[in-house]
Amino acid sequence: MFDHFNLIAPLYERLIPLRNSQKFIQIAGLPVTGALLDAGGGTGRVAKSLQGYAGQIIVADLSGGMLSQSQVYLRDGLIQYRGQLKQSSLTAPVKVDIRVTAGPDGRLHAINPENGFFGVGPGTSYDTNPMAMDTLKENVIFTNCALTDDGDVWWEGMTDDLPSHLIDWKGKDWTPAGKADAAHANARFTAPASQCPVICKDWENPAGVPIDIFIFGGRRTSVVPLVSEAFSWEHGVFLGATAASETTAANIGAVGNLRRDPFAMKPFCGYNMGDYFQHWFSMGEKLGSKAPKIFYVNWFRKSEDGKFLWPGFSDNSRVLKWICQRVDGKVSAESSAVGLLPKEGDLDLSGLTLTSENMKELMSVHAAEWRAEIPDIEAHFTTFGKRLPQKLRDQLEELRKRLG
């Protein structure tokens, strides 16, 4: 829809069509940084550890202006990666426009009408995202990257060894002795989706793929647990409507401030956001029992000394495995004030050197911290005036009661 979107829009939502089970997962609200260039951390499941879940990730974000009673358009960029779990892999196209419509079976279906995808350069490498790197060998548009002496591009995190000389993103000579980065923190690439070496065979299927899961998320160094499942569709809409991230280089303004970005739609919603929220509630009423389940993720929680508690990148596949198991009814969950959490031992941590203390903190829900969130959510809701659906106020009150 907007040709420039490939170059400037943040990477927000991800749709994952899971090949064998024909499931779709949508991950929303995740800001673009190098740490996210594993396409949100989704993975397909193959063989014993991930049987039935191999698939493709499509990154998208819900576009407001196109909504009707039966359809919604999604848009964003594309990325690929392989999961860490045994024999796991996936394809990961992130598309600029994704059309979601109600199918004849009464479920939501996602259809991809686009041809290319994009991502942020810094942090992308053969260690963090080999499928993305293999996609970028030709027919690529790069923006705000550094240039090597032999005419190639480079950005921070691409290689372990720093080049001895570059032309930086401002067109000036650069050497490792300098203090400034050679590439802009939000440097981008965009390429044809057909160049993705592990692209799903159904990526251009005009019939689309049914959607079973919506995942929202944000970049929070505290407060929000690694993953939680919404109690209901209404609660899930509340999670999307209150989604927040600490700002990154992909955002305008100071880095590190908390920014409410409902459904990752703040820059893109083409009509009153209160009406957009109501559309989500109405969509859930029409879908009934066939509505996708809703989850919320946060890969970015940190310890008191400022270190990430979760390894991220392809290890995020472990969280997606649990989400798929929840949808399939293979694992139960324990209730918390903010949603349903994995029970101890249900999250596949095989091969990780994650301490029990870090895992406990990753999943912790501190009532005092969440009570401190309420005034900010109230102020956020005030901006929508009388157009704010009453159901969101009701959900906020229920959260207040659960927190005690």
What are the DSSP calls for 233-267, one per residue? HHHHHHHHHT-EEE--TTSSS-TT-EEE-GGG-TT
Average pLDDT value for residue range 300-329: 90
Q: Specify the pLDDT at position 3.
A: 26
Domain spans of the chain? 5-118+200-362, 145-183
Residue 292 confidence (pLDDT) above 80: yes
Amino acid at 361: E
Q: Specify the pLDDT at position 256.
A: 56
Report the alpha-carbon distance of residue 207 to residue 221 in Å, rounded: 40
Summarised one tens digit per residue, pLDDT across range 31-55 is: 222 222 222 222 222 222 222 332 3
Greater model confidence, 294 or 73: 294
Of residues 186, 222, 187, the one with CA closest to residue 370: 222
Per-residue tokens: 281: 């509630």
Q: CA torsion, points 224, 228, 229, 231, in degrees to nearest 10?
A: -60
Summarised one tens digit per residue, pLDDT across range 98-140 is: 667 778 888 888 877 778 878 899 999 988 888 889 989 999 9
Cross-strand bridge partners of residue 342:
333
Q: Is the pTM of this model over 0.75?
A: no
5-118+200-362, what's its fold? Phosphoenolpyruvate Carboxykinase; domain 3 (3.90.228)
Amino acid at 48: K
Q: Which of 185-199, 270-284, 367-381 has the lowest mean pLDDT?
A: 185-199
Report the alpha-carbon distance of residue 233 to residue 292 in Å, rounded: 8
Of residues 78, 140, 142, the one with CA closest to residue 114: 78
Average pLDDT value for residue range 176-186: 95
